């Protein structure tokens, strides 16, 4: 999502010529049948990706490689870094995973040398700048950006409390805590609803937990396309996040942008974007009781929630809209003063 949003903004801006290369390209028939076979799929898709890099990277000045952790790091940005290095192209590694500390601790013997091949490492938060520094690596912070609607959000009229979660069903996102906290809240507000959006292997266990707790009014939507997510934000009264490991969740920033009150854990880099009592209600990661209390307080003290949401929207507009991050990206792509003065032609 962040890659697509950045690319759209740069193309609209016109100062940078930008292209996009998928790390998981779909092969043409009949080779596409190979992508249905485990292990073989990884091999043939990786080969296609490497071939595309060898053909296309030489045409560009800078390679901007988005990076997560662990195997994803090896399969996606690592080949891009190596091919760019082979061609003598400038490499910008954009590392965004909240699992960076564990990745660099356990996989650092090969990750650090590859990261050092990049000319510049960009991360979304100063939290990750500090993590990289602890592992002897330098990085600069350029925040994620979002499209903030120009029209102010309509005032939310709280009738039946409607909570919303849209993190994928992975253990470190701790969606089960949202469900358990909601069960506590529903004892006081029996008609309260919870909408859970996302996908992943943990879905059956999450649905089972809903049944075990006797929860009503909880619905699972499955994965939702990004362009359809705005309707879910607008239909909700309170956004809830309980992640145990995180960096800069776009879902929190998106909630801010539409005036949706937020209750969140303080995991990882979240404390850099969510100030308790100012832009959100922030609780210790892993504390279900505190999460439930904050969800209840968001409903009981509704006017205060709306005031925090308004402050959060002003905050995200000032710090994370495209005008706020544009110059930082242009500096990252073209670091010399002369290049910054005129970035046209940079690709």
**pLDDT (tens digit, 9 = 90+) per residue, 289-300?**
999 999 999 999
Q: Which domain holds residue 311?
A: 162-319
Secondary element (H or E) of residue 261: none
Structure token digits, residue 172: 């470190």
Whether residues 310 and 241 fall in one domain? yes
pLDDT (0 to 100) of residue 346:
36
Query: By C-alpha distance, which of 152, 149, 147, 153 is closest to 323?
Result: 147
182 and 273 both lie in a single domain: yes
Q: Is 186 exposed, middle or buried (0-12, 13-18, 19+ CB in 10 A)?
A: buried
In a domain, 346, yes or no: no
**46 within domain boundaries:** yes
pLDDT tens-digit map of 195-219: 999 999 999 999 999 999 999 999 9
Among 142-146, 188-192, 299-303, which is the least confidently predicted range?
A: 142-146
CB 192 within 8 Å of CB 162: yes
Least confident of 72-86, 147-161, 189-203: 147-161
Q: Are 160 and 234 in contact (CB under 8 A)?
A: no
What local confidence, expressed as pLDDT, does residue 138 receive? 94
Q: Is residue 44 part of a domain?
A: yes
Q: How far apart are CA 266 and CA 163, in angstroms?
A: 19
10 within domain boundaries: yes
- How many CB atoms neighbour CB 118 within 10 A? 24
Decide: helix, strand or coil at residue 249: coil
Q: Is the pLDDT of residue 30 over 60?
A: yes
pLDDT at 341: 40
- How far from each other are the two terminal CA atoms of the chain, in whole angstroms? 20
User: What pLDDT band is residue 345 in, cutting at 50, 70 and 90?
Assistant: very low
Residue 240, pLDDT > 60, answer yes
How many angstroms separate the CA atoms of 127 and 153, rounded? Answer: 30
- Res. 338 pLDDT band, cuts 50 70 90: very low
Rounded Cα gap, residues 2 and 91, in angstroms? 18
Q: Answer whether residue 48 shows pLDDT above 90.
A: no
196 strand-pairing partners: 165, 220
Query: Same structural domain for residues 126 and 226?
Result: no
User: Where is average pLDDT lowest: 43-47, 99-103, 193-197?
Assistant: 43-47
How much is the mean pLDDT over the chain? 90
Provide the pLDDT for residue 335.
Answer: 64
pLDDT the model gives residue 159: 86
CA dihedral 127, 130, 131, 132 (to 10 degrees): 120
In a domain, 195, yes or no: yes
Rounded mean pLDDT, 11-27: 82
Q: Are residues 124 and 197 in the same domain?
A: no
Q: Tokens 């510049």 label which residue? A: 120
Residue 271 domain-assigned (yes or no): yes
Number of domains in the chain: 2
Least confident range from 25-29, 95-99, 176-180, 241-245: namely 25-29
Region 244-270: what's the mean pLDDT?
A: 94
Instruction: Say if 347 falls within a structural domain.
Output: no
> Is residue 126 located within the same domain as residue 183?
no
Q: Is 10 found in the same domain as 128?
A: yes
Q: 207 lies in a domain?
A: yes
pLDDT attached to residue 292 = 98
CATH number at residue 107: 3.40.50.2000
Nearest-angstrom CA–CA distance, 239 and 232: 10
Confidence of residue 13 (pLDDT cuts 50, 70, 90): confident
H-run or E-run covering 281: strand 281-283
58 in the same domain as 29: yes
Q: Is 204 exposed, middle or buried (0-12, 13-18, 19+ CB in 10 A)?
A: exposed
Q: Are residues 193 and 249 in the same domain?
A: yes
* Same domain? 304 vs 182: yes
Question: Sheet containing 162-165: which strands, arranged edge to edge?
Answer: 218-222, 193-197, 162-165, 238-241, 262-265, 281-283
Judge contact between 253 and 259, C-beta under 8 A: no
Q: Does residue 75 sit in the same domain as residue 120?
A: yes
Cβ atoms of 200 and 169 within 8 Å: the answer is: yes
Question: Is 296 within 8 Å of 188 (Cβ atoms)?
Answer: yes
Cβ-based neighbours of 198, under 8 Å, separated by 6 or more: 165, 166, 167, 168, 169, 173, 175, 222, 223
* Same domain (yes/no): 309, 325: no
Q: What is the pLDDT of residue 336?
A: 55
Do 166 and 276 lie in one domain? The reply is yes
> pTM here?
0.79
Task: For the sheet with 120-123, list strands across it.
Answer: 62-67, 90-95, 120-123, 140-141
Taking residues 212-236, what's their average pLDDT? Answer: 94
């Amino acid at each position: 999502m962040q890659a697509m949003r950045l690319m759209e903004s740069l193309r609209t801006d016109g100062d940078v010529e930008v292209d996009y290369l998928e790390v998981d390209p779909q092969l043409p028939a009949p080779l596409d049948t190979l992508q249905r076979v485990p292990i073989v799929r990884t091999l043939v898709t990786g080969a296609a990706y490497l071939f595309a890099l060898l053909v296309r990277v030489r045409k560009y000045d800078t390679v901007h490689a988005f990076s997560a952790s662990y195997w994803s790091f090896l399969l996606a940005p690592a080949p891009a870094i190596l091919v760019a290095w082979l061609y003598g192209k400038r490499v910008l590694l954009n590392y965004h995973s909240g699992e960076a500390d564990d990745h660099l601790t356990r996989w650092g013997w090969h990750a650090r040398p590859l990261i050092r091949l990049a000319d510049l490492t960009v991360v979304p938060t100063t939290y990750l700048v500090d993590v990289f520094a602890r592992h002897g690596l330098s990085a600069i912070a350029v925040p994620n950006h979002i499209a903030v609607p120009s029209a102010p959000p309509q005032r939310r009229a709280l009738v039946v409390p409607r909570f919303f979660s849209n993190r994928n069903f992975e253990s470190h996102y701790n969606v089960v805590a949202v469900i358990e906290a909601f069960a506590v809240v529903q004892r006081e507000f029996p008609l309260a609803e919870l909408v859970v959006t996302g996908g992943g292997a943990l879905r059956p266990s999450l649905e089972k937990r809903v049944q075990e707790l006797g929860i009503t009014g909880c619905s699972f939507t499955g994965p939702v396309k990004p362009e359809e997510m705005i309707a879910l934000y607008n239909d909700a009264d309170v956004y809830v996040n309980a992640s145990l490991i995180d960096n800069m969740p776009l879902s929190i920033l998106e909630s801010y942008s539409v005036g949706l009150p937020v209750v969140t854990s303080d995991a990882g880099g979240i404390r850099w974007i969510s100030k308790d009592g100012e832009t959100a209600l922030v609780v210790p990661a892993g504390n279900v009781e505190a999460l439930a209390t904050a969800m209840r307080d968001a409903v009981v003290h509704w006017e205060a929630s709306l005031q925090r949401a308004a402050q959060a929207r002003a905050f995200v507009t000032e710090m994370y809209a495209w005008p706020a991050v544009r110059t930082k990206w242009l500096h990252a792509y073209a670091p010399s003063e002369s290049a910054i003065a005129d970035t046209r032609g940079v690709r």
